[in-house]
């Protein structure tokens, strides 16, 4: 993947934040421990108090540093430990820094859906802010920690991730090769859940049921398909000046996404963690299914082709 040095990045779409606490329930990537296969249903509040505490922390940190807040219209950056994000301005920065690459990817994915959702579903897309945290943080879906992996929280419509997930979990624990397009796949998958939330799919199919044809698996495979749709349009999706965020996607990039989708397949994770496969516990689908649905989205670019709910041939 090659970012366009002329693309302008919109920093307001990503926020760095601190945190506290240990567990969460959201639309997570499954972790080998089994803790992260979160369900969308029954989100209990708790973000309210956490939000207030966080805001106070932000204000205290901002006052302490005596520094001007970063110059984004919406933006208060909560990052007190060397703010790389505030330096991310262009695609050239995305080529150099992981945080800027994530920001550029978030920008591209959301610019894509801002066009595709009205075209294909007849409804407006609303941006969802990407929340970078370190260690743990509060969310509208409860407390989040790095061990839960990235997740989408329907209660506050935001995506949460501890960026150490990519090295520590995706590569080391899940055995993926990694790479910037593997990370882009994860970003696009999480925004797939946001799209499902906007069109009502998440609300309709909320369930704690598991199994190879469970609603949870269908939701996850559809998010993979939506991630593929973005990949299909990644080099033609532009910033507000008409500059594409991404200039080039190679077969190797797609292979990175496929490798990551394989690594997070339920069967692979079960094999690694339990030494056997039990489809009745699946929440995200098998490695092959995840790859197949990503490729369906990638090859078609069509939401209708991503209907994982009207087939038993997943």
Going by DSSP bridges, is the β-strand pair 130-133/14-17 parallel, antiparallel, or unpaired? parallel
Instruction: Give the residue with the Cβ less far from Zn ion, 27 or 182.
Output: 27
| Residue 306 engages Zn ion in binding (rule: CB under 5 A) | no
Q: How far is the CB of 2 from Zn ion (least distance, A)?
A: 27
Instruction: Give the residue with the Cβ less far from Zn ion, 162 or 239.
Output: 162
Instruction: Give the residue with the Cβ less far from Zn ion, 220 or 256.
Output: 220
x/- letters, 211..240, toward Zn ion (CB under 5 A): ---------x--x-----------------
Instruction: Give the residue with the Cβ less far from Zn ion, 28 or 244.
Output: 28
Q: Using CB under 5 A, which residues numbered 20 to 79 contact Zn ion?
A: 27
Angle between helices 251-263 and 215-233 (to 10 degrees): 170
Q: How far is the CB of 128 from Zn ion (least distance, A)?
A: 14
Q: How far is the CB of 28 from Zn ion (least distance, A)?
A: 7
Q: How far is the CB of 140 from Zn ion (least distance, A)?
A: 17
Q: How far is the CB of 307 from Zn ion (least distance, A)?
A: 17
Instruction: Give the residue with the Cβ less far from Zn ion, 10 or 220.
Output: 220
Instruction: Give the residue with the Cβ less far from Zn ion, 27 or 103.
Output: 27
Instruction: Give the residue with the Cβ less far from Zn ion, 244 or 285.
Output: 285
Q: Tell me the CB-side half-sphere exposure of residue 82, using CA atoms within 13 A.
A: 2
Q: How far is the CB of 224 from Zn ion (least distance, A)?
A: 8
Instruction: Give the residue with the Cβ less far from Zn ion, 217 or 223.
Output: 223
Q: Can you tell me the distance from the alpha carbon of 8 to that of 306, in angstroms, rounded to the nearest whole number?
A: 31
Q: How far is the CB of 151 from Zn ion (least distance, A)?
A: 7
Q: How far is the CB of 7 from Zn ion (least distance, A)?
A: 27
- Residue 65's Cβ-count burial label (10 Å; 0-12, 13-18, 19+) is exposed
Size of the residue set binding Zn ion (CB under 5 A)? 3
Q: Taking the alpha carbons of 35, 39, 45, 48 in that order, is the dihedral positive or negative? A: positive
Contact footprint for Zn ion (CB under 5 A): 27, 220, 223
């Amino acid at each position: 993947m090659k970012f366009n040095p002329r693309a302008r990045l919109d920093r307001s779409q990503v926020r760095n934040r601190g945190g506290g606490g240990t567990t969460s329930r959201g639309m997570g990537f499954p972790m080998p421990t089994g803790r992260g296969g979160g369900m969308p249903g029954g989100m209990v509040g708790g973000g309210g108090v956490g939000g207030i505490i966080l805001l106070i922390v932000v204000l205290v940190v901002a006052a302490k540093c005596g520094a001007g807040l970063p110059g984004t219209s919406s933006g208060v950056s909560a990052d007190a430990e060397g703010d790389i994000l505030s330096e991310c301005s262009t695609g050239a920065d995305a080529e150099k820094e992981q945080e800027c690459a994530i920001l550029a990817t978030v920008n591209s994915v959301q610019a894509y859906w801002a066009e595709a959702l009205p075209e294909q579903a007849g409804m407006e897309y609303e941006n969802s802010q990407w929340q970078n945290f370190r260690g743990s943080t509060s969310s509208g879906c409860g407390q989040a920690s790095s061990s839960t992996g990235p997740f989408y929280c329907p209660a506050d419509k935001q995506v949460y991730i501890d960026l150490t997930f990519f090295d520590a979990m995706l590569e080391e624990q899940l055995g993926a090769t990694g790479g910037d397009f593997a990370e882009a796949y994860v970003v696009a998958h999480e925004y797939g859940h946001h799209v499902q939330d906007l069109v009502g799919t998440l609300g309709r199919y909320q369930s704690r049921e598991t199994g190879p044809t469970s609603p949870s698996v269908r939701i996850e495979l559809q998010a993979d398909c939506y991630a593929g749709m973005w990949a299909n349009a990644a080099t033609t999706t532009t910033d507000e000046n008409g500059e594409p965020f991404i200039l080039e996607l190679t077969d190797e990039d797609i292979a990175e996404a496929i490798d990551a989708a394989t690594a997070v397949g339920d069967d692979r994770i079960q094999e690694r963690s339990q030494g056997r496969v039990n489809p009745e516990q699946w929440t995200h689908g098998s490695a092959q299914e995840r790859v197949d649905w990503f490729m369906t989205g990638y090859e078609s670019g069509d939401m209708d082709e991503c209907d994982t709910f009207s087939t038993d041939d997943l």
